[in-house]
Amino acid sequence: MQVLTILAILAADPGQLFVEKVQPALKRDCLGCHGEGQTISKLDLRTREGMLKGGARGAAIVPGKARESLLYRLVLNGGAQQMPPGKHLAPDVVTALGEWIDGGAPWKEVGGGPIWNFAEADLWALRPVKKGMLRLPAGSKPVDARTLVRRVTFDLTGLPPTPPEVSAFVSDRSTDAYEKLVDRLLGSPRYGERMARYWLDVVRYADTSGYSNDFERPNAWRYRDYVIRAFNSNKPYDRFVREQIAGDELYPGDAEALIATGYLRMGPWEHTAMSVEAVTRQMFLDDVTSSVGTTFLGLTTGCARCHDHKFDPIPTADYYRLQAIFATTEFARPSLPFLAVENVAHIAGERAGMVQVRDRTKAMMDSFGDTKRPDFPPEQYEAFKVYQKHLALYGESLDRYEAKAFAVSSGPRDGETDGGGTLRYPKRVDYRAPEVHVLIGGSVEARGEAVTPGVLSAVGRYSELKAFDVPTEVAGRRAALALWITDKKNPLTPRVIANRVWQMHFGKALAADANNFGKMGAKPADAALLDQLAGYLLDHDWDLKGLHKQILMSGLYRSVDVAPRRMEAEVLRDSMLAVAGELSLEAGGPGVFPQINEEVARQPQHRMGTLAPPYFPSPERAQRNRRTIYAYQQRSMADPLVDVFNGPSLDLSCERRDSSTVPTQAFALFNSQFAHDAALAFAARLEKEAGTVEGRIVRAFELAYGRRPEAEELKLSLEHVARMTRMHVAQAPPAVKAAKPIVHGITSELTGENFTFTQMQPEVKYEANLHPSQVSAATRALADLTLTLLNSNEFLYVY
């Protein structure tokens, strides 16, 4: 409610009215005749002075008196002299104009000069970082060792500590026991996988492009692995940023840096016969401009696309200057040999499998004969279209096995395709840097003033980072931006990342809106502390692991004051597999296909009026059960388990996961085949690792909770197993069922009738999970216990 009140006040602020309504209307409807190129009736409405001076008929405005202002009168009801001629401005614009004049007609120059009224508090993020001794809060009282080891292990690896890891820490009496633990975890390859998840949330990583075809981005996985490696090798953050924005320009010949530029193309993108080329290109430019602001600077630059930013000192011209930096950025998919650190172990085998499916598809297509003949039956044409679409999809997907980079280049593209659609953007011969204009209202059809590439003026105005030249040549624009963002005087960059790191450990960032450090974002709860953390990075060569360690060693982190957190979806899935003994820790490589809800896997997937092939989980168990970060991320189809546990949209930058509770989560965890399979594997593991029912229960608690059961829990658990054993002895499990053919329906565009299509199945042997019919009643009873443990609050919450 408070926010609404603030907005209401702002709406009446004449300065805001000018920025939001008056000036856009002037540009759109007035300046064509009175200012830009011509000044009919000697009236120039481009400046406040021009308005006061007026034209042949006198002053256009009388500040404070709308009703006496000619401009207002003619716009309101000019009769024969109605302005603009033959048109009435929208009522809200007219009202705004009146209120603006009544409010004194304050002028806010677009593109220069201090234009917004800010309290100093609103500008905190733009002011220089006040470095200082890092003094972290002490916390009220230390948490017990068992809770601490679980907390820090989940925080740094996204996985539960194993029972030996727990007992080793709990029994280690040395004074540096905890520090050794933190160092070990920071050195674990699981650390990079955990940190990468947060980063990929922010940049919206996906393996597909979204929209109608949702074509694969065949080499995007190399970017995902690059991010994991960057965190694991503790790449200095400034270098990490520079590589993603301008790796190709700043570090030519460096393969990692070229892969890193895939970041610039992470947004959804598609160009089809139905899209307008200029619009598609503009979508990319808007996406990347806004993504850079959000990801690295914590500024919602996207708001300035259509109008000067309502709340932050980002004029529209700044937005388009920033965008002009990317005007010469073209998609590229250059050849780039696989690196020794990349996982290409499965590539040959997987490619052979897909080639086979593609060839079968091709053969099916050929069997239709001449589909172009006029009497070709439309009903058959639908089936032909499905194969045709499959062929296109396989064509893109096969490229994931090619040694190419999903990257960009400055100027003419390097490599032949965009990876986003079959219709290619035209190649550019004699490449010249396109001229960039402010687009009025953000529309490609309404060009305003021309702008040159540049950085955000507000940073120069309020911080110590002064003027920064961006070249106007084709190359070097992004390099300049990257250097500006990572300049040690840029106050935003270190604050933004320090704030994100804090959030990883406490669930809530110091400045709670990690993507928005502007006026409307939450102010930092402890600005001095945030600056100290940012200062630590500046003084320690942007050492992220060092920063983590500082935070983790603090009294606060080791205290009972840390709020409990429900596991994120990926942590939950990985942890279920880990305690079940099923998790495969193989790292890297093209996306794998986990076991997902079978109905979703088998449901028809619509692609441009026809059908995609169904989802087939990876046939090898070890591949299905890889960590979730390695799962193929398809924009149009999320893993329902991840989705229901608040997985973010892959199209929006996610600064922080929601963890709200909904009843469908109970269905996913209590009823899904995945949960039941994990529970059964967990039970089978317990039987291997302990000889008695009691021993197995104890082991289950140690694995799932990191502790032994209390007497009351043990009693309840023993009773439960006994009861469930009786039930299972009396009831035989269902037999394994043969897989059914996948018959899909879709409404035909050609006939308007439903049409069915039987999908091809891969000719590979599927390594099935353990099935209840393969185990004893006792194991099935134990699986009821493990299923319930995996559903319990203690398993899902990290304290």
**From the CA atom positions of the chain, what is the Rg in Å?**
30
Smallest gap from Cβ 576 to other proteins, in A, equals: 15
Selected binder of other proteins within 119, 274, 340, 429 (CB under 8 A): 274
**By CB under 8 A, what part of segment 226-245 binds other proteins?**
none
Buried b (16+ CB within 10 A) or exposed e, 275-308: beeeebbbbbbbbbbbbbbbbbbbbbbbbbbebb
By the rule CB under 8 A, 776 interacts with other proteins: no
490: amino acid identity, one letter:
N
We find the least distance from the C-beta atom of residue 419 to other proteins, in angstroms, to be: 17
Applying CB under 8 A, among 518, 535, 613, 706 the residue interacting with other proteins is 518
Restricted to residues 329-348, the positions that interact with other proteins (CB under 8 A) are none
Side chain identity at residue 299, one-letter code: L
Least CB distance from residue 524 to other proteins, whole Å?
12
Q: How many residues does the chain have?
A: 799
Candidates 59-67, 350-358, 546-554, 648-656; binding stretch for other proteins (CB under 8 A): 648-656
- 789 binds other proteins per the rule CB under 8 A: yes
731 binds other proteins (CB under 8 A): yes
Question: Residue 261, SS3?
Answer: helix
Residue 751 sits in the site that holds other proteins (CB under 8 A): yes
Is 321 in contact with 477 (CB distance < 8 Å)? no
Q: Shortest approach of other proteins to residue 292 CB, angstroms?
A: 16
Is there binding between residue 212 and other proteins (CB under 8 A)?
yes
The minimum distance between CB 791 and other proteins, in angstroms, equals 6
Nearest to 619 by CA among 742, 768, 740, 739: 768
Q: Minimum CB separation from other proteins for residue 713, in Å?
A: 6
Partner residues linked to 777 by β-bridges: none
Determine the 3-state secondary structure of 335 from DSSP. strand
Of 233, 118, 255, 250, which is closest to residue 187 (Cα–Cα)? 233
Is there binding between residue 174 and other proteins (CB under 8 A)?
no
Among 747, 758, 774, 776, binds other proteins (CB under 8 A): 747
* Ramachandran category for residue 214: left, alpha or beta (phi over 0 → left; psi -120 to 50 → alpha): left
Picking from 708, 657, 713, 697, the residue whose alpha carbon sits closest to that of residue 784 is 697
Q: Is 663 in the site for other proteins (CB under 8 A)?
A: yes
In 84-188, which residue ranges form alpha helices assigned H by DSSP? 91-102, 145-157, 163-171, 177-186
Kindly state the smallest distance separating residue 28's Cβ from other proteins, in Å. 15
Compute the least distance from the CB of residue 260 to other proteins, in Å.
24
Considering only 429, 752, 763, 765, the residue that binds other proteins (CB under 8 A) is 752
Residues facing residue 335 across a β-bridge: 404
Question: Which residues between 126 and 155 bind other proteins (CB under 8 A)?
Answer: none
Q: Give least dist CB 180 to other proteins, A.
A: 28
Q: Compute how many other C-beta atoms are within 10 angstroms of the C-beta atom of residue 734.
A: 9
# of chain residues touching other proteins (CB under 8 A): 112
Q: How far is the CB of 78 from other proteins (least distance, A)?
A: 22
- The string of DSSP codes covering 504-516 is HHHSS-SSS-TT-
Is 796 a binding residue for other proteins by CB under 8 A? The answer is: yes
Q: How far is the CB of 665 from other proteins (least distance, A)?
A: 7
Q: Which of residues 601-620 bind other proteins (CB under 8 A)?
A: 603-609, 611
Residues 453-492 touching other proteins, rule: CB under 8 A, are none
Which residue number, 52 or 718, has a Cβ lying nearer to other proteins? 718
| Enclosing H/E stretch for 746 | strand 743-747
Distance CA 499, CA 497 (A): 5
Nearest to 206 by CA among 622, 653, 615, 598: 653
Cβ atoms of 589 and 347 within 8 Å: the answer is yes
Question: Residue 797 phi/psi, 5° resolution?
Answer: -105, 140
Give the shortest CB-610-to-other proteins separation in angstroms: 9
Segment 564 to 593, residues that bind other proteins, using CB under 8 A: 564, 566
Which residues in 536-565 contact other proteins (CB under 8 A)? 564
Q: Is residue 520 part of the contact set for other proteins (CB under 8 A)?
A: yes
Q: How far is CA 82 from the centre of its chain?
A: 49
> CA angle, corner 33, sides to 27 and 38, nearest 5?
110
Q: What is the DSSP string of 695-728?
A: HHHHHHHHHHHSSPPPHHHHHHHHHHHHHHHHHH
CB 758 within 8 A of CB 741: yes
Closer by beta carbon to other proteins, 180 or else 715: 715
Smallest separation (angstroms) from other proteins to the CB of 390: 15
Distance (Å, whole) CA 216 – CA 251 = 27
CB of 526 to other proteins, least distance (A): 18
Residue carrying structure tokens 């502790």:
707
Q: Which listed range, 150-158, 345-353, 481-489, 666-674, lies at the site for other proteins (CB under 8 A)?
A: 666-674
Q: Determine, following the binding rule CB under 8 A, whether residue 439 of this chain makes contact with other proteins.
A: no
**For 242, what's the count of Cα atoms within 13 Å in the CB-facing half-sphere?**
19
Q: What is the amino acid identity at position 177? A: A
* Residue 788 near other proteins by CB under 8 A: yes
The beta-strand segments (E) located in 622-683 are: none
Interface region with other proteins, contact rule CB under 8 A, candidates 232-240, 330-338, 537-545, 784-792: 784-792
Least separation, in Å, of the C-beta of 213 and other proteins?
Answer: 9
Give me the least distance between CB of 658 and other proteins, in Å please: 6
Which range binds other proteins by CB under 8 A, 108-116, 218-226, 339-347, 512-520? 512-520
594 binds other proteins (CB under 8 A): no
**At its nearest, how many Å lie between other proteins and the CB of residue 36?**
21
Q: Which residues pair with 332 in a beta bridge?
A: 407
**Contact range with other proteins by CB under 8 A, out of 156-164, 427-435, 535-543, 717-725:** 717-725
List beta partners, residue 758. 743
Q: Which among 475-483, 497-505, 518-526, 760-768 is the span making contact with other proteins, rule CB under 8 A?
A: 518-526
CB of 587 to other proteins, least distance (A): 29
Binding mask 373-392 for other proteins (x = CB under 8 A): -x---x--------------
Which positions from 671 through 710 interact with other proteins, judged by CB under 8 A? 671-673, 676, 710
Encoded amino acid at 713, one letter? E
Interacting positions 2-41 with other proteins (CB under 8 A): 3-4, 7
**Taking contact as CB under 8 A, which single stretch among the options 222-230, 274-282, 384-392, 487-495 is the one that binds other proteins?**
274-282
β pairing state of 565-566 and 606-607: unpaired
CA 210 vs. chain centroid, Å, equals 13
Contact between 154 and 572 under an 8 Å Cβ cutoff? The reply is no
793 binds other proteins (CB under 8 A): yes
Q: Binder to other proteins among 82, 272, 554, 559 (CB under 8 A)?
A: 272
Name the residue nearer to other proteins (CB basis): 472 or 788: 788
Choice from 423, 475, 718, 760 touching other proteins (CB under 8 A): 423
Q: Where are the alpha helices (DSSP H) in 706-792?
A: 711-730, 777-791
Residue in 69, 261, 295, 300 binding other proteins, rule: CB under 8 A: 300
Interface residue with other proteins among 132, 138, 745, 758 (CB under 8 A) is 745
Alpha carbon distance 542, 242 (integer Å): 12
